[in-house]
Amino acid sequence: MPHPSLYPMTFTPVLKDYLWGGRNLESKLGRTLPAEGVIAESWEIAAHGDGASVVENGPYAGWPLTQVHAALGLDLIGLNNTWAQERGKFPLLIKLLDANTPLSVQVHPDDAYALAHEGNELGKTEMWVVLYAEPDAELILGVTPGTTPEAFRHGIEHNSLEPYLHRVPIQAGDHVCVPAGTLHAIMGGLIIAEIQQNSNTTYRVYDWGRVGADGKPRPLHVDKALDVIDFGRVEPELNSPVVIAEEPAFRRELLCRNRYFVTERIELAAGAEFGGVCAGDSLEIWGVIQGEVAIDDVALRAVRFCLLPAAMGEYAVTATTAATLLRIYVDVA
């Protein structure tokens, strides 16, 4: 049965000042940032030991998402996330990334490797939706043909990694599914919405010769990276959206589906409505990436995200203006 105290929740994000960030969340997305310094990541919906976003509306206002999860359990995250509940984990983490300069060349482990080597941390399967891209922007995604672990290690040790890195041109509107084990780097000049497992484990293999705030190179994690890189991910292509439904005022596309999350992109004309129900199986996370909508009585404008608890019941998304949205949920079917 629907839980009477559950409602669409919005959050105050957690900001991260990693060295590759900038001020583009302010200048290009209209976000309010601290007066000085760079911001690399805005953790929009987060319940992790390294940062928890705080509810800003309704009865749970002022509560960190970790505390809301502890109070509501499966009523918040849903039966499809029972595996995460059993590990005491909120399943997902939603971020905005300002890649003002390139991120490191890196890889993330899967659940089994993370559990064995990183305590109770989850693995990290993720996906990206490109919100802004400068001309000639690109990503590193996967390896080039013939790359072996031995050749790759030699490239790291001799600062000659470039021949093994598969570069992909990218533009606003593109999306990229990134399974755990995929070698990757988000290059400069991009703003990206990232949907991922609730993990903060990254294994760097190359950092462009940079130093951190302490004047020293940031640590690399070569042995662990070589353990988990999928060298079978050779020159992967960008994913194409799959149209689920299309009407004059409504378009629904599948962007990415895996065991951890499903991401759809939904386009609504002004005044159009999408009706759904959170019947207990999964939470839903909605992100407005263009335009303005109301989710029940919660107004959202781009770029903002909203969490619908799994046991909330029926809801309606109504477009105040023409709008493009991301819909994220978990489906184990």
Active site residues: 204
Taking the CA atoms of 44, 49, 50 and 56 in sequence, report the sign of the dihedral they define.
positive
Residue 183 is given by DSSP the state -
Distant-in-sequence, close-in-space partners of 179: CB < 8 Å, separation ≥ 6: 125, 230, 233, 258
Residue 304, SS3 per DSSP: strand
Q: Pick from 247, 246, 266: which is nearest to 255 by CA?
A: 266
Backbone angles phi, psi at 153, to 5 degrees: -60, -40
Single-letter residue type at 312: M
Measured CA to CA, the distance from residue 132 to residue 152 in angstroms comes to 31
How many Cβ atoms sit within 10 Å of the Cβ of residue 94?
Answer: 24
User: Are 221 and 204 contacting, i.e. CB atoms less than 8 angstroms apart?
Assistant: yes
Q: How far apart are CA 75 and CA 42, in angstroms?
A: 26
What's the CA gap between 173 and 255, in Å, rounded? 11
